[in-house]
Amino acid sequence: MVFPFSSITDFSIKLDEEHELFRKAVREFVESKVMPRWQEIERENRIPEDIIEAMKEQGFFGVGIPEEYGGQGGGQLTTAILVEEVSRAVPALGVTLGVNHLFVVPILLFGSEEQKKRYVTPIAQGEARGAHANTEPTGGSDVAGIQTRARRVNDHYVITGRKVFISGAGDADYLVVSARTSPPREDKRWWGISVFIVEKGYPGLKIGQQFKVMGMRGEQPYEVILDEVKVPAENLVGPENEGFKVIVTTYDHTRIGIAAQAVGIAQAAFEKALNYALQRETFGQLLIQHQMIIQKLADMYMRLEAARLLTYWAASLADQGKKEFIVAASLAKAFATEAAEWIARQAIQIHGGYGVDVETGVERYLRDAIITTIYEGTNEIQRLTIVRQLVRQAFGLKI
């Protein structure tokens, strides 16, 4: 046994020529349509609608969604490549793609056929936008601790609560919302949570303030207020009171996208540092001729490629339907996001004063990288997941 996996074949990455052709197509799109406008996005704190429309025309919103629901098909690995490439230019655009998946994944995994056709199809075709409202003022990583309430009244539920730091909520047509429908059991604290699809036009649903977080300009999160929102009973996703499983299983899948976003950030920061080191002279030498800079660049590159390999590996395991992908996803998310933060920090150091000048576009990668270590489950939670899954897979024990 290759502890805690069953075989060395579990460590393979299933890539083919189609993946590379897709990556090149996305890279070409990003270089021509997105990269030249990063300053505009940073300044306006908004992704221009023409970029969204162009992504729709390219079919990007349908990547990773089955063709039977209007998507382009492709699995986690194809999705990771897409997110990595767009995040290399504007990490917030990776959020734009990611929040749609946060909406559709729980429906694809746990929803009814009617829900998939009604809500997933317009998302896949770029006709609608989705968001995922789980985090609350009292916490986000502790999914079992949410306090939003939902009570059954005849043929509908009435939801009341407040969600915070909800990415994409400002433009979302639909939201997946978690709420407590029953008190927790003594032996099962997670019991009693349910998941619902809430449409933007439902009375009582209000999109509140936009949080001015340090990074991800262009796609910063919002407050979502639910005041006696009536939701049809058929909008319940999965079994009533078992929504905890819906939420955490969704994160098992979607955190691979955060790892991919971090790889894109790390790639961009490394490229900027390397290019600058090849042009800038100090003490009569190019920066890249200084031993200290050589060491920095080598360490940056090692972490970058390790992060990419972990991310592609986790995506490959998920595409193969292997349960081991859960621990791999947490490994990739924690390592890649911390690697991106470290690489961005080194890129700033290599640029010196220019590294903290907002006009050069270097410091933004550090701001964005820090955020990736926090959302979609903090890296502290990823470490908890890693050890729990390791012990469960290897010994069949719960801790």
Name the active-site residue from 57, 113, 376, 380: 376
Angle at 90 between CA 89 and CA 93, to 5 degrees: 125
Residue 9 lies in a domain: no
Residue range 255-268: mean pLDDT, rounded:
98
Asked which of 128, 144, 177 is the last residue of a domain, the reply is 128
249 and 361 both lie in a single domain:
yes
Among 89, 29, 141, residue whose Cα is nearest residue 271 = 89
Bond prior to 4 in cis (omega within 30° of 0): yes
25 and 162 both lie in a single domain:
no
CA dist., res. 266 & res. 87, Å (int):
9
Handedness of CA 168, 88, 285, 296 (dihedral sign): positive
What confidence tens digit (pLDDT) does each residue in 341-375 have?
A: 999 999 999 999 999 999 999 999 999 999 999 99
CA dist., res. 197 & res. 178, Å (int):
9
* Domains: count for the chain: 3
285 and 366 both lie in a single domain:
yes
Q: Strand pairing partners for 132? A: 176
Three-class SS state of 389: helix
Model confidence at 251, in pLDDT bands (50, 70, 90)? very high
CA dist., res. 280 & res. 290, Å (int):
11
359 and 370 both lie in a single domain:
yes
In this structure, what CATH number is given to the domain that contains residue 57? 1.10.540.10
Residue 290 has pLDDT above 80, yes or no: yes
In this structure, what CATH number is given to the domain that contains residue 252? 1.20.140.10
Residue range 16-35: mean pLDDT, rounded:
97
Residue 161 lies in a domain: yes
Model confidence at 95, in pLDDT bands (50, 70, 90)? very high
Burial (CB < 10 A; 0-12, 13-18, 19+), residue 353, is exposed
Average pLDDT, the chain: 95
Q: What is the pLDDT of residue 29?
A: 97
Asked which of 220, 241, 262 is the last residue of a domain, the reply is 241
Q: What is the pLDDT of residue 23?
A: 97
Active site residue 42: no
236 and 250 both lie in a single domain:
no
Domain containing 57 equals: 15-128
Residue range 198-223: mean pLDDT, rounded:
96
Q: Give Cβ neighbours of residue 250 (< 8 Å, ≥ 6 apart).
A: 102, 105, 106, 109, 132
Report yes or no: 310 and 345 within 8 Å, Cβ to Cβ: no
92 and 152 both lie in a single domain:
no
Residue range 20-30: mean pLDDT, rounded:
97
Model confidence at 264, in pLDDT bands (50, 70, 90)? very high
Q: CA separation (Å) from 238 to 109, 150, 278?
A: 9, 15, 55
64 and 162 both lie in a single domain:
no
Residue range 207-228: mean pLDDT, rounded:
96
Look up the pTM and report it. Answer: 0.95
Residue range 249-272: mean pLDDT, rounded:
97
In this structure, what CATH number is given to the domain that contains residue 237? 2.40.110.10
Handedness of CA 241, 244, 247, 252 (dihedral sign): negative
Question: 160-164, 191-195, 245-249, 384-388 — which is least confidently predicted?
Answer: 384-388
Residue 1 has pLDDT above 70, yes or no: no
**To the nearest whole percent, how much of the chain has pLDDT over 70?**
100
CA dist., res. 399 & res. 387, Å (int):
9
